[in-house]
Amino acid sequence: MSERTLGIAVIGLGGAVGTTMVAGIELLKLGKVDKTGLPLSELDQNSAKDLAAYERIVFGGWDLNAENLAAAAEEHEVLNHKQFVAVENSLSKIYPWKAAVDERFLSNIEGGNFLPSKDHREVIKNIVNDLKKFQEICDQVVVINLASTEKLVDESSEEYSSLAAFENALDAGSENISPAMLYAYAAISTEIPYGNFTPSVAADIPALIEFAEMQNVPIAGKDGKTGQTFIKTVLAPALKARELKIEGWYSTNLLGNRDGLALSNEDSLRSKIKTKASVLRNILGYEVEDHIVDIRYYRPRGDDKEAWDNIDITGFLGQKMQIKVNFLCKDSILAAPLAIEIARCLDLAKQRGDSGIQEQLSVFFKLPMTKYESPEHAFHIQNKHFLKWLNA
Ligand SMILES: NC(=O)c1ccc[n+]([C@@H]2O[C@H](COP(=O)([O-])OP(=O)(O)OC[C@H]3O[C@@H](n4cnc5c(N)ncnc54)[C@H](O)[C@@H]3O)[C@@H](O)[C@H]2O)c1
């Protein structure tokens, strides 16, 4: 693997997934954990040669919450006691940078760690300054969005339709421009690859896709495919291959972490349900009218998410059957390694001179960004495309 230093600048660094990424890499550096759960850790030497070594990754990033990462990780309770003790000292030295914030897009998460900014251009300037400072200690920087889910916006807005329209909206202080878009714009303007692990609308608007192509910057998103949707996009193609008709698919999630709290707000929830609900039609080729996706904030579970799926199917002779899946997962333990791999792949894409939407990274996302065609959702097909790119 490459000996270059890869800097991951995380938006939402103090969150459950952000702190788990940082702690995980630190534990690897200390030799306290192995690489189980990191999807690209077992590649042969040749495929992996240009990917940044896990041990060469360093972190920086923004959070609304000013506390250091040890204090944040302690609150999230994702690490076990031994793991926390091993990384507490190094995490306590990392403080998030001041965030870009707008309460119109995120209502029920609090924190005072943000710079008062009089306009969008000033916010962008602050983000760019942070990135430039970080670049001084890294060979390559990648930005990954792991912030709380913002409210759903009207993606067809004229202001998002082209770079020129977006720039005008920036100058006019438009209320339709979210922090997620400002971070994405700042990264692209600095020629830094950008990955969106959240359902928030960001680099997926036409204006920023155009900007990424113009700047030769690779971008990818959106919404990490970690638990329930991952399993759904594995099972659905198999049922399709056997011509078992899916009559209904009821998916419920219980989660009690801060992501769950953010999603208990109706506006943020709509963003998440949109990305989760879109996968079946593409895989099956028909609409499952009774595809229901439900997410509940349920505090006792903390980060130990529970996902239930009930699938009603019809087989030969019109006979009805049911499949029940109960995935007792750990939200951040599934998410953190994917976010790390997305960053390493975006760095690889940049080295290869790939720019714009990196469709081959669809394998990591619930709602993959595509330029012309509707996205491929079937996991086995996504993985085939991804490995072909990796080995190219
Ligand atoms: N855990 C998973 O399996 C998974 C899967 C897919 C997507 N995601 C998405 O990843 C994101 C992070 O999840 P999490 O569990 O770490 O949530 P979290 O609530 O623990 O962390 C989010 C962090 O973002 C910070 N934040 C909010 N707005 C910000 C802003 N404008 N700038 C900088 N920081 C900001 C918050 O203070 C918080 O610390 C969520 O959007 C979630 O939907 C998670």
The secondary structure of 287-342, three-state, reads CCCEEEEEEEECHHHCCCCEEEEEEEEECHHHCEEEEEEEEECCHHHHHHHHHHHH
From 108, 146, 331, mutation site for ligand 1 pocket: most ligand atoms within 8 A of C-beta = 146
Per residue in 359-378, pLDDT (tens digit) is 999 999 999 999 877 899 99
Residue identifier of the C-alpha nearest atom 36 of ligand 1: 12
Task: Report the pLDDT value the prediction gives residue 305, as an integer from 0 to 100.
Answer: 87
Task: Report the pLDDT value the prediction gives residue 116, as an integer from 0 to 100.
Answer: 78
Task: Report the pLDDT value the prediction gives residue 268, as an integer from 0 to 100.
Answer: 66
Instruction: Point out the ligand 1 atom lying closest to the alpha carbon of residue 179.
Output: 31
- The CA distance from 217 to 184, in Å, is 11
CB atoms within 10 A of CB 90: 16
Q: What is the DSSP letter of 39?
A: T
DSSP E strands, 33-137: 57-63, 97-98
The H-or-E segment that residue 220 falls in is strand 218-221
From 178, 259, 274, mutation site for ligand 1 pocket: most ligand atoms within 8 A of C-beta = 259
Q: How far is the CA of 148 from the centre of ligand 1 (A)?
A: 4
Task: Report the pLDDT value the prediction gives residue 109, as an integer from 0 to 100.
Answer: 62
Ligand 1 is surrounded, with C-beta below 6 A, by 11-12, 14-18, 62-65, 99-101, 106, 109, 111, 146-149, 179, 197-199, 223-224, 226-227, 257-259, 262, 331-332, 334-335
Instruction: Point out the ligand 1 atom lying closest to the alpha carbon of residue 261.
Output: 19
Looking at residue 320, its amino acid is K
Residue identifier of the C-alpha nearest atom 3 of ligand 1: 331
From 11, 17, 74, 144, mutation site for ligand 1 pocket: most ligand atoms within 8 A of C-beta = 17
Task: Report the pLDDT value the prediction gives residue 379, as an integer from 0 to 100.
Answer: 96
Per residue in 273-288, pLDDT (tens digit) is 666 667 898 899 999 9
Strand, coil or helix: what is 145? strand
Task: Report the pLDDT value the prediction gives residue 230, as an integer from 0 to 100.
Answer: 95
Give which of 96, 8, 114 is closest to 337, Cα–Cα: 8
Task: Report the pLDDT value the prediction gives residue 237, as an integer from 0 to 100.
Answer: 97
Residue identifier of the C-alpha nearest atom 37 of ligand 1: 64
Q: How far is the CA of 197 from the centre of ligand 1 (A)?
A: 9
Domains of the chain: 6-224+333-390 (3.40.50.720), 228-329 (3.30.360.10)
Considering the entire predicted model, what is its pTM? 0.94
- The CA distance from 131 to 347, in Å, is 15
Task: Report the pLDDT value the prediction gives residue 9, as an integer from 0 to 100.
Answer: 98
Q: Is the Cβ–Cβ distance between 369 and 220 less than 8 Å?
A: yes
Task: Report the pLDDT value the prediction gives residue 138, as an integer from 0 to 100.
Answer: 96
> 2 forms bridges with which residues in the sheet?
52
Looking at residue 279, its amino acid is V
Task: Report the pLDDT value the prediction gives residue 348, as an integer from 0 to 100.
Answer: 96
Residue identifier of the C-alpha nearest atom 39 of ligand 1: 15
Instruction: Point out the ligand 1 atom lying closest to the alpha carbon of residue 11.
Output: 33
* Residues in the chain where the model's pLDDT stays below 50: none
Task: Report the pLDDT value the prediction gives residue 218, as an integer from 0 to 100.
Answer: 98
From 106, 144, 148, mutation site for ligand 1 pocket: most ligand atoms within 8 A of C-beta = 148
Token pair of 58, please?
A: 């360093």
Rg (CA), the chain: 20
